[in-house]
Chain A
Amino acid sequence: MRAFVIAVFAFLYLPIALVVLFSFNAGHHASEFTGFSEQWYGKALSNPFLVEALKNSLFIASTSALLAAFCGTAAALGLQRVGARTRGVFDALLGAAIVVPGVVIGISTLVALVQLFAVVNPFLASVWPTDQPPRLALGYGSIIAAHGLFSMALVTMIVGTRLSSLDRNLIEASSDLYATPLTTFRSIVLPQIMPAVTAGFLLAFTFSFDDFIIAFFVAGAQTTLPIYVFASIRRGVTPEINAIATMVLAASVLLVLLAQWQLGRRKPSP
């Protein structure tokens, strides 16, 4: 069994090792190793399109995850206060947001937004006082919204599960002691659901940062890192891409270690 587990880990890490190895390739292609060089790291960081794609991805992932964490938590709290019918409708919609395949989310959002813009933009143009009316278009907004949809549903479910296992006695005790609802929320509820909110945020960030198919449809002229990588695969991957991927990997491993270390400090026996 141990041998099998080791083999599976080797299987998981072989491609990652290759990605890292080729980031140090001296040659121009990510397909033939011709010697050792770290030049591609410099080249990657001075490629304006690659850097912009990375920045876009970071911006989109953090914004959509933050919005999702906020709206999802609010919704989970709100859902505790409504009746069966409302809750049923919400559960169905949230479930749909999670189950509907990304490719369908991307396509349907594209179709709806293109139609919506075709109506809204002429309207804006006709009522706007100046010559330069604002124009809605696909871009950051549409990617953030489409990514956030799935993420928000995820956060609502995770936080909802957590809320339902809250210790009621604490809450009752709190209000018996004349704490205002807000105080009760801040000092009792929030700390207890925070781990779930954080987990939801992280999952949302990871999902958005790595998503290709939804952004592929709704990005308009914007580029995210996965879109850039996909385009690179079509035009021939240079080790620049490997360099960026390696840097992202290193950064996330560092974050994991940091988080572990923090956790370890807070409670000695995890």
Chain B
Amino acid sequence: MSGPDHKSDPGNATGGQLPAGSEAAFSMRGTLLRKNLMTALLLAPATLWLVVFLVLPFVAIAIFSVGERAPEGGYQAAFTLAQYANLPARATAFWNTMVLAPVGAFACLLVAYPVAYYLALRAPERWRLILLALVVIPFWTSLLMRTYAWMYVLGGRGIPALLAYVGIEDVRLINTPGAVLLGIVYGYLPLMILPIYVSLERLDRRLLEASADLGATPLSTFFGVTLRLSLPGVMTGFSLVMILLLGEYLIPTLLGGGKVFFIGNALVDLFLQSRNWPFGSAIAITLVLVSVVVLIAANRISARLSGARRVDLI
């Protein structure tokens, strides 16, 4: 357990994010020892949790990733970089993920922004909370069930049957990249709306008025003021959805029919079908590294664009 480090001044310690003083408040009258013990007790459960279920598993897959597939599948101890050398065999799955994740997040953004804008700036006051609740409620119906409903809508008995009724035969919607994209936009829309809503809601309306008073057109007010100021929310939503999409499995499985293959599908396949645990571990590690790079990049971009920190959901 990492011991509390009291040498540094708590004010500087947190990079200016945390105002000084709370430490003093909690244990002003305690001896240094009691104070340290208390800190250790507070941090112990979380530390234990992080070590056993985050660090240890990561070490385990790191070890597995340099091992070999046992003859009938599973893992067999070895030291080889063969698994990493084999990564190009999943290049298409990586590519699909790297293309569909940002495209999906961007499509999500295009749909989400006007909704968030309407909710934050245009909707009548008494409707706002209700509409906001309506955005969140879909979260409480299983995503699986809702995606299954899309399987029905896009499948032969859904829209294609309706189209056949009016004379347009043999339309195929399900198991296409379009179907997967629709599922992605559908599944993650609320996650995109909420942070944008939060940042638009905090926006100082006097700025909009000032812009209008100074003779700006509504369009230039939107691009010059509104959009710029809501960028932190946009970036939060965008990177949130991106991160989730990088590990996506369900939506391509259900709406892509095993044809639109994400890296998440490749991973599940390696563990539950072809039983190549070492290769799966190597891909998992690569995926984590990619996710971290993507997140850092998104953070940098967002910082540069807005000069501000990202907006937290709460």
Q: A and B: direct contact (Cβ < 8 Å)?
A: yes
The majority secondary structure among interface residues of chain A is: helix
State whether A83 touches B291 (Cβ < 8 A).
no
Give the contact stretch, choosing among B79-87, B147-155, B167-175, B223-231.
B147-155
Q: Which residues of B, 84-131, contact A by the 8 Å Cβ criterion?
A: 111, 114-115, 117-119, 122, 129
Tell me the minimal C-beta distance from B286 to chain A in angstroms.
Answer: 10
CB-CB < 8 A to A217: which residues of B? 271
State whether B54 touches A96 (Cβ < 8 A).
yes
Give the contact stretch, choosing among A35-43, A44-52, A124-132, A180-188.
A180-188
Tell me, in angstroms, the Cα distance from A175 to B144 when the chains sit together: 52
CB-CB < 8 A to A94: which residues of B? 50
State whether A13 touches B138 (Cβ < 8 A).
yes
What residue in chain B is nearest A83 (Cβ atoms)? B5
Tell me, in angstroms, the Cα distance from A181 to B38 when the chains sit together: 12
Tell me the minimal C-beta distance from B251 to chain A in angstroms.
Answer: 11
Also in contact, A181 and B27, with CB within 8 A (given A32-B157, A80-B18, A107-B61): yes
Q: Which residues of B, 268-314, contact A by the 8 Å Cβ criterion?
A: 268, 271, 277, 280-281, 284, 287-288, 291-292, 295, 312-314
State whether B284 touches A107 (Cβ < 8 A).
yes
The listed residue with most A CB atoms (<10 A of its CB), out of B3, B52, B247, is: B247
CB-CB < 8 A to A136: which residues of B? none
Contact with A along B48-82 (1 / 0, CB 8 A): 01101111111111001000000000010000000
Give the contact stretch, choosing among B8-16, B197-205, B206-214.
B8-16
CB-CB < 8 A to A78: which residues of B? 4, 39-43, 46
Q: Which residues of A, 154-192, contact B by the 8 Å Cβ criterion?
A: 156-158, 161-164, 166, 168, 171-172, 174-175, 180-181, 184-185, 189
State whether B267 touches A111 (Cβ < 8 A).
no
Tell me the minimal C-beta distance from B290 to chain A in angstroms.
Answer: 10
Contact with B along A35-79 (1 / 0, CB 8 A): 000000000000000000000000000000000001110110111
What residue in chain B is nearest A233 (Cβ atoms)? B148
State whether A168 touches B22 (Cβ < 8 A).
yes
State whether B264 touches A184 (Cβ < 8 A).
no
Q: Among the listed A19, A103, A168, A185, which residue makes an inter-chain contact with B249, where contact means beta carbons less than 8 Å apart? A: A103
CB-CB < 8 A to B3: which residues of A? 86
Q: Which residues of A, 1-34, contact B by the 8 Å Cβ criterion?
A: 1-2, 4-5, 8-9, 11-16, 18-19, 30-32
Tell me the minimal C-beta distance from A19 to chain B in angstroms.
Answer: 5
Tell me the minimal C-beta distance from A17 to chain B in angstroms.
Answer: 9
State whether B152 touches A30 (Cβ < 8 A).
yes
Also in contact, A256 and B28, with CB within 8 A (given A13-B138, A16-B146, A145-B49): no
State whether A82 touches B46 (Cβ < 8 A).
no
Contact with B along A242-270 (1 / 0, CB 8 A): 10010011001100100010000000001
Tell me, in angstroms, the Cα distance from A252 to B26 when the chains sit together: 38
